[in-house]
Amino acid sequence: MTITSTSHRPLIIGSLVADVLLQVPHLPQRQQDINIAAQQIRSGGCAYNVYEAVCCCGGHPHFTGVIGTGAFAAALRQLVGHDPNMTLFASDEENGCCYCLIEPDGERTFLCVRGGEYRFQAQWLSRLDLDPFGWLYLCGIDLEEAQNECLVRFASASGLRLMLAPGPRLDHIQEQIEQLMRLHPILHLNEQEALAMSRQNDPQKAAIALCAQGAEKVIITLGSRGSLACDGNTLIAHAARTVKVTDTIGAGDAHAGACLHALSQQLPLDKMLELADHTAEKALRCAGALRHER
């Protein structure tokens, strides 16, 4: 894969989160006690996972996030180390975490404790030098906090091409999504999210409808069936290969990161989906989200 040119370099802004991975035999029922088979803490967060995926594809993105105080913040500092391609603004709020319940088939369920890592300030964003960048990536999960309206304003004023992953909590960010759609973003969604956002009952119809609503391109992951992409004129699908799943944590983020890298390299849609599905397969085979070698 070619190296990202400076003018096309992606800027990824969002949360860096401590993922607490809990291996469970099944999801607990109400009042039930179960034993956990294993646990570990990993670096996570949707935006950070995307950053790592772009790196795995050979790109040179820059990640901007927030790190606070407390045990989970200390763990994250140790896990990510010193990365010259990361800007972490210091918050005096305590970091939360994400408890990831992983079932034997690899499916995950998240329980999130939101802390300082989810709260941005406009004055921090104003310090960023945008000259090296051509792309901006945002996640819907990072738009929920009221003070993160500054992210929407930043995107609108940045002049960067926007790739947006609205995420599953669309009902909580309707106004923010409406504002960002005016920027004609590239949307990255899973099938359930695409159907909900478009109010369609078929992923192909959903992609076409979202393009008609203003998206420059729409990318939809279809689980074991692969993925599809639409630019308003052309709709392309790519079939996934059978993969032995370790867990599903970060697989969608890995797909999004590979798409972001491919778009920044001006690859055609079919090559983009091929790279993205392959990268997501790697994420499915590893424990936790995909990570590049440092």
Q: What is the pLDDT of residue 247?
A: 84
Measured distance CA(121)–CA(144) in Å, rounded: 14
| Closest among 21, 4, 46 to 254, alpha carbons compared | 46
* Alpha helices, H only, 44-109: 46-56, 71-80
Measured distance CA(202)–CA(143) in Å, rounded: 27
Q: Are 162 and 180 in contact (CB under 8 A)?
A: yes
* Alpha helices, H only, 84-198: 122-125, 149-158, 174-181, 191-198
Measured distance CA(293)–CA(66) in Å, rounded: 23
Measured distance CA(139)–CA(210) in Å, rounded: 17
Q: Are 24 and 101 in contact (CB under 8 A)?
A: yes
Q: Residue 87's Cα: distance from chain center in Å? A: 17
Q: What is the pLDDT of residue 8?
A: 87
Q: Are 40 and 280 in contact (CB under 8 A)?
A: no
Indicate the DSSP class of residue 140: G
Q: What is the pLDDT of residue 294?
A: 64
Here the tokens at position 228 are 């599809």
Give per-residue burial for 85-94: e unless 16+ CB within 10 Å, then b.
Answer: ebbbbebebe
| Closest among 121, 186, 178 to 160, alpha carbons compared | 186
What does pLDDT average to in each consecutive run of 10 residues of the chain (294 residues)?
56 97 94 92 96 97 98 97 96 96 92 96 97 97 96 97 96 96 98 98 98 98 96 95 88 97 97 97 89 78
Cβ neighbours, 10 Å, residue 33: 5
Measured distance CA(90)–CA(121) in Å, rounded: 11
Q: What is the pLDDT of residue 3?
A: 34
The residues, ordered by sequence, that sit 6+ positions from 273 with a Cβ below 8 Å of its Cβ are 219, 226, 227, 228, 229, 236, 237, 238, 259
Here the tokens at position 86 are 């990361």
Domains annotated for the chain, with CATH where assigned, are 6-16+45-94+116-285 (3.40.1190.20)
Q: What is the pLDDT of residue 246?
A: 87
